[in-house]
Chains A and B, each alone.
Chain A
Amino acid sequence: MRKAIAVMKKDFNEIKKNFQVFGVMIILPIIFGVVYPLILYFIIPSLVLEDPAALNMIINMFSGFFLLMAISIPVVVAADSFAGEKERKTIEALLAAPISDAELFLGKVLVSFLPAVILTYISAIIYCSLVNIALGYFLLPNSAFWFQMALVPLFALLGIEITVFISVRVKGFREAQQLAGVIIIPVLGIVMLNAFNISVFVAPWNYILLISIGISDIALYSLAVKKFGRENIISKI
């Protein structure tokens, strides 16, 4: 675990100095956490009087965006994890170091996971606060919203594991990012269903979703470490 944290810290130090990656990481939380809530803040008072149904749909839709955010923020960092090191030709010394495949994979997952979850939660807190202030009463977080928040780390982890796994196997960062972009589609589907009041965040679907994503996270991690193979990486330099 110590070496995984060392990899995470090193990668984070690098990301901070890479605007291409860090910029994308920061832009999404600003849009979801600040810009959208501000829009809501200004349109809510009129919608409360004019069209409560539309207001409900908008609040639901925007709430669902946090799942999308949790899975989108880390894609850039996770895509860069191994593919970026291959492109910059820094990977060989890392592969020659005494760090296990599991630790190396975990380090690369953590550097994407922690910022994604932290930024998503911060944005969610700002969002809830602004909505409640604009409405003048306490609406969020409701039970569905809490449930989405519980799903945030699980979805983020799933997206990151898939993206890091892709990053191991492709030659470059762009290729990894393009392939990983596909994982957003199912989440987008859930968000859209939620927006139209067909929620998967109510029992029993919420529990089924929670358990299945949790199991997928564990299974995918084991599979990814098993299939990791330093040779896969070095052969793509």
Chain B
Amino acid sequence: MIRVKNLVKHFGDLKAVDGITFTVENGEIFGFLGPNGAGKTTTIRMLSCIIRPTSGNAYLNGYNILDNPMEIRSMVGILTENPCLYERLTPVANLDFFGKLYDIPKTIRATRIDEILEMFDLQDRKFEKVETFSKGMKQKLALARSLLHDPQILFLDEPTSALDPKTAKGVRDYIKKLSEGGDKIIFICTHNLTEAEYLCDRVAVIDHGKIVGIGSPEELSRDIWKGEQVEIAIKNYDSHIEQSLKQLNFIKNFEYQDHILRIDVNDTSKDNPRIVETLVKSGAQIVSVEIKRHSLEDIYLNLVRD
């Protein structure tokens, strides 16, 4: 579990991170979204104990970033925006070096390196210099390095930036696979909203160092637009149906246009069954029911205004 409490980081007069507070549960893929310079990378660097906060604190599985940096560095894996690979060395030499730093015993290090290279389809190139690799292969190797010590918490900073669409999809699939059935926390910094929507259980949007929204896309949508909208296609809409809807006091507003009934409610998961039941009882012939979802892009653009 990650608990961040009023974390602040100043660089001179610049408030890079300005009092952020949030929690990430085990097993979650958590997206940290925001424009360039919003404070995403600075937050990751504080949480992985590369830099110290100006004030505030954060707890990662019980250890705090001020007093237990070595414990935190040991349990965390980080994929930085640059792959940070030693290009004159081979993948094996790169991983062996980090294996030593992360205290992976010599007896299992070679096996672990082989396993992880196999997982990322890099076995065939394991004795070639990294400088001969494509961008996608380097990114996969960097991801392999971040997973080498089987970290409980994984920080991924722009994991697919500068990758071609096919390789980016491959990396996204690896990340998704990693989270399946485990209790790892995967914390992703990105401004790729499609990626965040595909991967993340919850997201936080940071702008000018402050968190301006946090929750699942559905929760954020509900908070921003003060409720949800359900669209019901009806063949035989008439005044009887309209009257029956007016009796449902949880409906905030509704309108019928082009065979589509649009109803604003607070929570579709709770209200939809009652609406459908009422409509059926009033003789409505329902063709389809669809919850109108705002995309993460809509949410983001609403939260990050300039």
Is B76 at the interface (CB under 8 A from chain A)?
A: yes
The CA of A90 and the CA of B78, in the complex, are separated in Å by 13
Number of contact residues on A: which range applies? Answer: 20 to 34
List which B74-109 residues lie within 8 A (CB) of chain A: 74, 76, 78, 80, 82, 84-89, 93, 97-98, 100-103
Is B126 at the interface (CB under 8 A from chain A)?
A: no
B89 contacts which of A2, A13, A100, A234 (Cβ < 8 Å)?
A13
Is A99 at the interface (CB under 8 A from chain B)?
A: yes
Known A3-B101, A6-B100, A13-B93; judge A96-B49 contact (CB<8 A): yes
Chain B residues with CB under 8 A of A235: 11
Residue of B nearest to A92 (CB): B80
The CA of A184 and the CA of B133, in the complex, are separated in Å by 40
Query: Nearest Cβ in chain A — how far from B58, in angstroms?
Result: 15
Chain A residues with CB under 8 A of B82: 89-90, 92
Q: By the criterion CB–CB under 8 Å, are B73 and A97 in contact?
A: yes
Q: By the criterion CB–CB under 8 Å, are B84 and A90 in contact?
A: yes
Q: By the criterion CB–CB under 8 Å, are B98 and A98 in contact?
A: no
Q: By the criterion CB–CB under 8 Å, are A96 and B76 in contact?
A: yes
Q: By the criterion CB–CB under 8 Å, are B85 and A90 in contact?
A: yes
The CA of A9 and the CA of B48, in the complex, are separated in Å by 25
Q: Which of B52, B80, B145 has the most CB of A within 10 A?
A: B80
Known A93-B80, A94-B84, A97-B102; judge A230-B97 contact (CB<8 A): no
Q: Which of A2, A13, A14, A93 has the most CB of B within 10 A?
A: A93
Q: By the criterion CB–CB under 8 Å, are B88 and A14 in contact?
A: yes
Is B208 at the interface (CB under 8 A from chain A)?
A: no
Is B119 at the interface (CB under 8 A from chain A)?
A: no
Q: By the criterion CB–CB under 8 Å, are B86 and A234 in contact?
A: no
Interface bits B102-130 vs A (CB < 8 Å: 1, else 0): 11000000000000000000000000010
Chain A residues with CB under 8 A of B86: 10, 14, 90
Is A231 at the interface (CB under 8 A from chain B)?
A: yes
Interface bits B17-40 vs A (CB < 8 Å: 1, else 0): 000000000000000000000000
Is A18 at the interface (CB under 8 A from chain B)?
A: yes
Q: By the criterion CB–CB under 8 Å, are A91 and B84 in contact?
A: yes
The CA of A6 and the CA of B82, in the complex, are separated in Å by 22
The CA of A2 and the CA of B97, in the complex, are separated in Å by 11
Is A226 at the interface (CB under 8 A from chain B)?
A: no
Q: By the criterion CB–CB under 8 Å, are B84 and A98 in contact?
A: no
Is B286 at the interface (CB under 8 A from chain A)?
A: no
Q: By the criterion CB–CB under 8 Å, are A89 and B89 in contact?
A: no
* A-B CB contact pairs (8 Å), 16 listed: A6-B101, A10-B89, A13-B88, A13-B93, A14-B86, A17-B88, A18-B88, A88-B87, A92-B80, A92-B84, A95-B50, A96-B49, A96-B76, A230-B51, A234-B45, A235-B11
Taking Cβ atoms with an 8 Å cutoff, the residues of A that contact B are 2-3, 6, 9-10, 13-14, 17-18, 88-100, 230-231, 234-235
